[in-house]
């Protein structure tokens, strides 16, 4: 995009929600300067970052010198409106609702359950040990993926992605959750439609470029 706004993306290598924005920027041909917020070091809870996002979550996207945008779904919709081509939502109303619904099943009803702030509460205030936290992660990844699998299979739309032959916000959110599942070495069985869609995402340059393991700060493979 010619003359795009100046983007500063507050990011971390492993962050699932940051992955979504990285993929969308790639798909739209937009670029952002990344500023690392070290989640493992608790930097998202620093006063400096809480002034940017009072929920202490990544990503945040500063546009020129304005107040930072937060919440990945809001940022994705912003990028879609700023740079409509290529579209990440279909053109028909019901199709758009389907794509946004699948995106929200993952970004709203799955991922928020396994964020650092939830881990902190469960391990410090609720007595979860490593095994209990792992079981919690597996529970919600499995619930979310199994439900998305049923959705994709029951009201199937032809094409190699979730909704046709080009990526949409549904694929961006699906791949974002799978990406952190891979980091945590968690897999869910019996999701053949998702596996097929993920093969298409993995083969797409925009998704490959957002692979957590390829980001600054990622551990060596």
Residues lying near a second copy in the complex (CB under 8 A) are found at: 50-51, 53-57, 63, 66-67, 69-75, 77-78, 81-82, 93-94, 96-98, 100-101, 103-105, 107-109, 112-113, 115, 117-118, 121, 125-126, 128, 132, 135-136, 139, 143-144, 146-148, 150-151, 154-155
* Cβ nearer to a second copy, comparing 35 with 151: 151
Q: How far is the CB of 166 from a second copy (least distance, A)?
A: 19
Q: How far is the CB of 210 from a second copy (least distance, A)?
A: 20
Nearer to a second copy, 31 or 213 (CB): 31
Q: Which residues contact 125 (CB under 8 A, 6 or more apart)?
A: none
Nearer to a second copy, 35 or 133 (CB): 133
Nearest approach, Cβ of residue 151 and a second copy (Å): 6
Cα separation, 221 vs 211, in Å, equals 12
3-state secondary structure (DSSP) of residue 70: strand
Please report how close the Cβ of residue 213 comes to a second copy at its closest, in angstroms: 26
Q: How far is CA 18 from CA 120, 126, 127, 133, 137, in A?
A: 20, 28, 29, 22, 19
109 vs 182 by CB, closer to a second copy: 109
Tell how strand 33-36 and strand 69-70 pair up.
unpaired
Most distant pair of Cα atoms in the chain: their distance: 52
DSSP structural state of residue 161: B
Residue 135 C-beta: closest distance to a second copy, Å: 7
Task: Rank residues 161 and 211 by Cβ distance to a second copy and give the closer one.
Answer: 161
DSSP reduced 3-state for 66: coil
């Amino acid at each position: 995009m010619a003359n795009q706004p100046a983007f500063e993306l507050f990011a971390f290598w492993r962050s699932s929600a940051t992955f979504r924005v990285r993929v969308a920027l790639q798909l739209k041909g937009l670029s952002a300067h990344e500023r690392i917020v070290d989640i493992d070091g608790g930097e998202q809870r620093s006063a400096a970052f809480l002034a940017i996002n009072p929920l202490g979550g990544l990503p945040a996207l500063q546009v020129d010198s304005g107040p930072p945008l937060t919440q990945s779904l809001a940022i994705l919709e912003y990028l879609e409106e700023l740079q409509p081509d290529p579209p990440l939502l279909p053109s028909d109303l019901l199709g758009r609702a389907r794509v946004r619904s699948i995106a929200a099943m993952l970004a709203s009803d799955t991922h928020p359950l396994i964020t650092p702030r939830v881990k902190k509460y469960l391990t410090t205030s609720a007595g979860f040990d490593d095994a209990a936290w792992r079981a919690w992660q597996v529970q919600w990844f499995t619930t979310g993926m199994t439900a998305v699998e049923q959705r994709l299979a029951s009201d199937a739309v032809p094409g190699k992605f979730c909704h046709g032959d080009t990526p949409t916000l549904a694929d961006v959110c699906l791949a974002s959750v799978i990406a952190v599942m891979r980091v945590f070495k968690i897999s869910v069985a019996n999701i053949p439609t998702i596996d097929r869609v993920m093969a298409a995402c993995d083969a797409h340059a925009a998704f490959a470029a957002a692979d957590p393991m390829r980001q600054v700060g990622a551990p060596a493979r």
